[in-house]
A and B are shown apart, each in its own frame.
Chain A
Amino acid sequence: MKKVLLSGNEAIARGTYEAGALVACAYPGTPSTEILETITQYKDINASWAPNEKVALEVAIGACFGGARALVTMKHVGVNVAADPLFTLSYTGVRGGLVIVTADDPELHSSQNEQDNRNFAKFAKVPMFEPSDSQEALDFTKLAFAVSEQFDTPVFLRTTTRISHSKSAALLSERPTDIPVPKLERNPAKLVMLPGNARKRHVIVEQRTLDLEEWACQQAFNRVEKGAGEIGVITSGVSYQYVKEIMPDADILKLGMVYPLPKQMIRDFAANYETLYVIEELDPFIEEQVQAMGIKVHGKDKLSVCGELTPGRLQAGLFGKSLPLEDTSADLPQRPPNMCPGCPHRSVFMELNRAKAYVTGDIGCYTLGFMPPLSAMDTCICMGASIGNATGISKVLSAEEQRKVVAVIGDSTFLHTGINGLLDMVYNQSAATVIILDNRITAMTGRQENPTSGYTLNELEAPRVDIEQLCRAVGVKHVQVVDPYDIALTRKTIREEMARPEASVIITTRPCMLVPRDNIERRTPLFVDHDKCTGCKACLRLGCPAITWDEENKKSNIDKIICTGCKVCQQTCGFDAFQECGEKL
């Protein structure tokens, strides 16, 4: 067996391969995205990006009903989107094994909330594994497929950012050679969830959870690690590592499966200790269930429900110890993420700011339009919400105020769940304006293909959806397509459509600067002619990382190493100070 360094996400991909899965499907979402990207190296697995998590799960369900093992991956909020099929899939059970990865994001490193998806396991009555490192991520993925088939249930594998993006050593095995060939097999009483069938299945689901609970008490993935025998700790996932770090002498009940809990095992363990802790991130998910068993434990009385756990936070919560050095970092200039140099979204937000638009926002790189100096975003809830939010707010405003309302949404987010909002907007005759920021890629998560890209996950050519025709087909009468590098046209179009007392769509079309295949033309970087620059700072309103203010000379400068030559800044300058360097990048 070969030992290699793998991230948790790479380990899940490997586990899926070693489990003999034939299908893997996902919508990208941090911190889950790299699982599918890694799976593309295993050509025996049919891997694809779906337009959203609900479709991804439905595709995986289809593959599993066909008899294949199937994986579906998503970030925590993706499970909200996929919840509809999930809850009924719990009733039908599976044919081939089906594993759902939920990659949670405590601390909101790259998310809009920090929901604890262990609650979904209990809510949907679906068993859930939780690995503590990459080796377990690989092993538990294989185990999850086996459990799925053994207990006729979908199985969750839950990671957190620190598991998905940490690398640690893992041992690799081979893929089985005797993978069954899928073929049709009818079983409508199990798979057609009409009330008469579903009532019977519900009874089976309840029994299944009881069976799993009993079985889990005998399995090695739930284990006791003996310490000094004085303090007992129940823990799982990444929290286990912090407990080992901070409480090396504690006796530990390490749970590999967090739902259903092995209740008898917990009772037996708890009986040995005066002082018992449950150490877990986010919600008191295990703690409340243990307390409901009549066992007294400490947990969230010492540790926060908010944010991720760290070794330091665990130490401070339990023992009150703090940093050896004073924290001197508070006053330093912050370095938040920013739209890239040459980003086609930048000019749109500068113009929305100037037009004093009330902008309902959405999820993507363009959410950074919130940051100063662009400062042009007023709401952001979830994938696809911008259009419905614009319709709703327009319903309650005067005709004059309605004109200020603009929804912004990226191509990928529009196809994810924004299209439904547009249907409603047209059907119910809202007067709001929608801007679709079309850069042909799902950029925020690291540039994944989508139906507007013209390519698949495997970088094979694919049909490209025509967003303009799609909007017209939905019934939008006024659709304008503009190049956001043309500021005058972008400004004129935004103002025209904002003033229009009818639903309208503006599509700003420019590929993401970071996608090489869409940016064949190399452009020359610009420089600022200091004889012409008056120091008016108009260009700084773009917030381009390539433009910096020279405090000494009171002029702007361009960093030609990162300037992409988009020339948007040139159009903001009233004094012709932005000139081409004359050297190609």
Chain B
Amino acid sequence: MNKVTNILLAGVGGQGILLASEIISEVMLMAGLDVKKNEVHGMSQRGGSVVSHVRYGEKVYSSIIPEGEVDILFSFEMLETCRYLPLMRPSGKVIVNDWKIAPPSVALGQQAYPENIVANMRQQFADTTLVNGLVLALEAGNAKTVNTVLLGALSNVLEFDRDLWLTALRKMIPERLLAVNLKAFDLGCQTK
């Protein structure tokens, strides 16, 4: 049977989500799999909610993940994680960055940022990993490598050779930022 794995990336415009989904797709392509990824450009750049679908397997048709079939919710921001939980398979995994970005209504003091997000999520999805992306990125030496730290954490739950990830990183990341990103990736790999 044609088994397709579905990863949904979620976060806020400017967090490096599209580059992360690009790198994941590149790994799948190098692994000899069919891969499709999908996202909507345009309005998302301006601090809006951003979502990217990555699907891989022997043969992939739809580039949008069928609702209710997300295997891994790979999220860069707490609140955005909650937004896409309903699209998950009940047996799905969550990897979430420990980071809160206030949406406009919260910044203006009109609405509250939801509380106890991770605890609630763990009740519904036992396999939830919390990654302290910013702390590890700063440890690597650059606050902007949070997305690479998270990729490291993701690589732990996917069965692909480490070399494929490193090759993809080398291909997609500019030379001058490579060393710090490789370090960030390793720190991400060490999270449990």
Contacts and interface: CB of A to CB of B under 8 A. Distances in A.
A479 B39 CA distance: 43
Contacts of B141: none
A169 interface: yes
Interface string B67-78: 110000000000
Contacts of A368: 46
A312 interface: yes
Given A166-B36, A543-B108, A545-B47, A246 B66 contact: yes
B63 A168 contact: yes
A162 B25 CA distance: 17
A323 interface: yes
Contact of B40 (A110, A329, A338, A561): A110
Contacts of B38: 162, 165-167
B86 A334 contact: no
B82 to A, nearest CB: 6
Given A368-B46, A545-B47, A315 B66 contact: yes
Nearest to B80: A335
Nearest to A168: B36
B13 A167 contact: no
B109 A166 contact: no
Contact of A548 (B39, B48, B107): B107
B25 A5 contact: yes
Contact of B12 (A5, A324, A335, A339): A335
A31 interface: yes
A3 B32 CA distance: 11
Interface in A221-259: 238, 241-242, 244-246
Contacts of A337: 13, 43-48
B86 A333 contact: no
A373 B49 CA distance: 19
Contact of A336 (B37, B39, B104): B104
B170 interface: no
Interface in B64-107: 64-68, 79-80, 82-90, 102-107
A37 B168 CA distance: 24
Contacts of A549: 107-109
Contact of B111 (A109, A329, A333): A333
B42 interface: yes
Contacts of A333: 79, 103, 105-106, 111, 113-114
A340 interface: yes
A332 B83 contact: yes
A327 B84 CA distance: 9
Contact of A329 (B13, B64, B83, B143): B83
B29 interface: yes
Contact of A5 (B26, B88, B102): B26
B187 interface: no
Interface in A290-328: 310-312, 315, 323-328
Contact of B107 (A244, A325, A339, A545): A545
A109 B25 contact: no
B35 interface: yes
Interface residues of A, number: 58
A382 interface: no
Nearest to B46: A337
Nearest to A9: B41
B61 interface: yes
A534 interface: no
A508 interface: no
Contacts of A238: 63
Contact of B63 (A166, A323, A329, A339): A166
Contact of A162 (B26, B42, B64, B88): B64
Contacts of B68: 312, 323-325
B62 interface: yes
B34 interface: yes
Contacts of B114: 332-333
A161 interface: yes
Interface of B, secondary structure class, is: mixed
A325 B63 CA distance: 21
A335 B104 CA distance: 7
Contacts of A133: 36, 63
Nearest to B102: A548
B85 A325 contact: yes
Contacts of B37: 5, 166-168
A583 interface: no
Given A325-B90, A337-B13, A545-B104, A242 B62 contact: yes
A446 interface: yes
A503 interface: no
A365 interface: yes
Contact of B39 (A165, A324, A327, A329): A165
A32 to B, nearest CB: 11
Contact of A311 (B29, B62, B102): B62
A110 B48 CA distance: 12
A445 interface: yes
Interface string A507-528: 0000000000000000000000
B62 A241 contact: yes
Given A311-B66, A325-B86, A334 B105 contact: yes
B12 A327 contact: no
Given A5-B35, A327-B86, A365 B62 contact: no
Interface string A202-233: 00000000000000000000000000000000
Contact of A445 (B42, B47, B108): B42
Interface in A409-445: 444-445
A549 B111 CA distance: 11
A162 B143 CA distance: 32
A109 B44 CA distance: 9
Interface in A530-575: 537, 540, 543, 545, 547-549, 551, 561
Contacts of B22: 167
B41 A30 contact: yes
A167 B67 CA distance: 19
Contact of B85 (A312, A329, A537, A545): A329
A31 B64 CA distance: 16
Contact of A30 (B39, B42, B47, B84): B42
Given A311-B67, A338-B47, A543 B104 contact: yes
A329 B117 CA distance: 13
Q: Which of B42, B48, B80 has the most CB of A within 10 A?
A: B42
Closest 3 interchain pairs by CB? A312-B67, A110-B42, A549-B109
Given A5-B25, A332-B114, 7 more contacts: A31-B40, A109-B43, A133-B63, A311-B62, A323-B86, A323-B87, A329-B85
Interface of A: 3, 5, 30-31, 34, 109-110, 133, 161-162, 165-169, 238, 241-242, 244-246, 310-312, 315, 323-329, 332-340, 365, 368, 371-373, 444-446, 537, 540, 543, 545, 547-549, 551, 561
7 contacts: A162-B64, A166-B38, A167-B22, A323-B68, A333-B114, A335-B103, A537-B109
